[in-house]
Amino acid sequence: MRLDRYRRAGDFLANAGAWLAEREAEHNLMLGIASGLDDEASASGEPMYFALVREGSRPLAAALRTPPWNLLLSEVDEPAALDVLADDLAGAQLPGVTGPPDAVRRFAASWTAANGSRTEVAMEEGVYRLERIVHPPPVTGRPRRATADDRPLLRDWVAAFHAEAGLPAERNRARAIIDEWEPETGRQFWLWEVVGRPVSLVGAGSPTPNGIRIGPVYTPPEERGHGYASSLTAAATQWNLEQGRRYCFLYTNLANATANHIYQAIGYERVTDALMVRFTPD
């Protein structure tokens, strides 16, 4: 086995992209992130990390990181490839790792043993794919695309989404994402309005070869129970399918039974699971 590092996302995708696309749903997050990156440095100014472990010409595992976010792991065709990645990242300052549960556990065990850290489960997630929408019952209101004038609301709601998901460390980063967002880019935000009043939010972005990822989905507590999130998720999903996307993907917190039921009811099917862990000082 050998590990190759790449300085740019384009070089990473040129080598790993076809292999990742064979399991597009499972790799939608990695493909979507890499497809939107051009520079060598992340928004934080730190170098990004792109790596592919191969045996001969056959890819076995891939990883990327855009600081300050977690390391992201691909599906793994040979578990020992995770030890190669852990060795390559020995001494790196990693906040955590996200990916297929078995791969995350093995990488975390190998990396923390060498770096004197402990692991803490941050979230267990379901990965969903949709090809055909099942429209929910009609509810009051209508969807619309967010504009630059909505930026303060988006900032507050995306930060609230991260806090409610149990990821308080992501709140400030989420605010920065909204501050830097431009409506003309491929990143979408949708709002459901009732008599001109926004009551729910859905995002979409990170395109893959044949799809796009939906998220975050957030409704303030006082507006829940009316079907707004279901209708808005369905509307944003349908719009992207009409633009030529074959699939839409999304991630769910498996601890949120209501959200998982909502997405399945409009046509999303669970493909696999993902695990997010944090590293904390020993």
> Per residue in 174-215, pLDDT tens?
777 787 777 767 789 999 999 999 999 999 999 999 999 999
| Whole-number pLDDT of residue 168 | 62
- 167 shares its domain with 258: yes
> What is the CATH classification number for the domain harbouring 215?
3.40.630.30
Domain assignment present for residue 81? The answer is yes
Low-confidence ranges of the chain (pLDDT < 70): 39-44, 168-173, 184
User: Do 152 and 222 fall within a single domain?
Assistant: yes
**Which residues are CB-contacts of 14 (< 8 A; sequence separation ≥ 6)?**
none
The order of strands in the sheet holding 142-145 is 2-6, 49-55, 58-65, 71-73, 96-99, 269-281, 117-130, 247-253, 211-218, 197-205, 188-194, 142-145
Are residues 84 and 182 located together in one domain of the fold? Answer: no
Residues 50 and 104 in one domain: yes
Is 94 within the bounds of a domain?
yes
Residue 273 lies in a domain: no
146 shares a domain with 90: no
Q: How many domains does the chain have?
A: 2
- Res 182: pLDDT: 74
pTM of the model: 0.93
Assess if residue 111 is contained within a domain: yes
100 in the same domain as 142: no
Which pLDDT does position 46 carry in this prediction?
82
**Residue 163 parent element (H or E):** helix 151-164
Q: In the structure encoding, which two tokens stand for residue 126, read together? A: 């379901």
Same domain, 96 and 196: no
Domain that holds residue 237: 133-266
Examine residue 275 and state whether it is found in any structural domain, yes or no. Answer: no
The string of pLDDT tens digits covering residues 77-97 is 999 999 999 999 999 999 999
